C-alpha cells in the first residue's frame, strides 16, 4: 500500500469514527434536539438507542485490527444508516443544511472503505483480498 493511500485511509477513517461516535453518543443520550429532529422525521425515539449502539459498535469494528467480515458489515451499516438519513430528510422536506452531516459521513465511509489496507479486507478463495 502506498503511503499516500494509507494517509487517506487513516484521515477518512478517523473522521468517520469521530462523526459516528459523536452522533452515536448524542443518540444514546437522547439529547433534546436529536429527539425533536428524529421524531420530526416520523421515527419513534426508541430507535435512537438502537442506532447509537450500532454506531458505537461499528466504530469499534472498523478501528480494531482483524475481523474483516465484521468491518464489511460495519461499513455497510454506516452506508445504509446515512443514506437512510439523507433520504428521510429529503422525503420530509427538511432544510438543505440537514443533508450535509449524513452526506459527509457517506463520503467518509466510502473513502475509508475504498482505501482500507489489504489486511482489513476479506480474503478471497485465491488468497488475495477483495
Q: Note the pLDDT tens digit of each residue in 19-55.
A: 999 999 999 999 999 999 999 999 999 999 999 999 9
Residue 33 falls inside a structural domain: yes
**CA Rg, the chain, in Å?**
16
Evaluate whether residue 122 is within a structural domain: no
For residue 130, what pLDDT is reported? 61
Reference 108, options 2, 49, 20, 43; nearest CA is 20
Task: Decide if 24 is inside a domain.
Answer: yes
124 in a domain, yes or no?
no
- Residue 33's domain spans which residues? 3-116
Residue 130: inside a domain: no
Q: For the CA atoms of 24, 72, 103, 53, what is the dihedral angle to 10 degrees? A: -10
| Residue 45 grid cell | 425515539
Residue 126 in any domain: the answer is no
Q: How many domains does the chain have?
A: 1
Q: Supply the pLDDT for residue 123.
A: 82
The answer to whether position 125 is within a domain reads no
The average pLDDT across 85-99 equals 94
Q: Is residue 8 part of a domain?
A: yes
* Cα(6)–Cα(47) distance, integer angstroms: 35
Confidence (pLDDT) at 129 = 62
Predicted local confidence at residue 122, as pLDDT: 87
Distance from C-alpha of 109 to C-alpha of 104, rounded to nearest angstrom: 9
Amino acid at each position: 500500500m502506498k503511503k499516500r493511500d494509507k494517509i487517506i485511509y487513516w484521515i477518512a477513517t478517523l473522521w468517520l469514527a469521530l462523526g459516528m461516535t459523536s452522533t452515536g453518543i448524542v443518540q444514546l443520550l437522547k439529547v433534546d434536539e436529536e429527539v425533536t429532529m428524529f421524531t420530526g422525521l416520523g421515527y419513534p425515539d426508541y430507535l435512537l438507542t438502537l442506532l447509537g449502539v450500532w454506531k458505537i459498535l461499528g466504530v469499534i469494528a472498523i478501528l480494531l485490527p482483524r475481523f474483516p467480515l465484521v468491518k464489511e458489515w460495519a461499513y455497510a451499516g454506516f452506508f445504509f444508516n446515512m443514506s437512510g438519513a439523507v433520504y428521510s430528510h429529503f422525503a420530509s422536506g427538511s432544510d438543505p443544511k440537514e443533508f450535509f452531516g449524513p452526506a459527509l459521513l457517506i463520503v467518509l465511509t466510502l473513502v475509508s472503505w475504498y482505501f482500507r489496507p489489504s489486511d482489513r479486507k476479506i480474503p478471497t478463495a485465491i488468497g488475495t483480498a477483495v
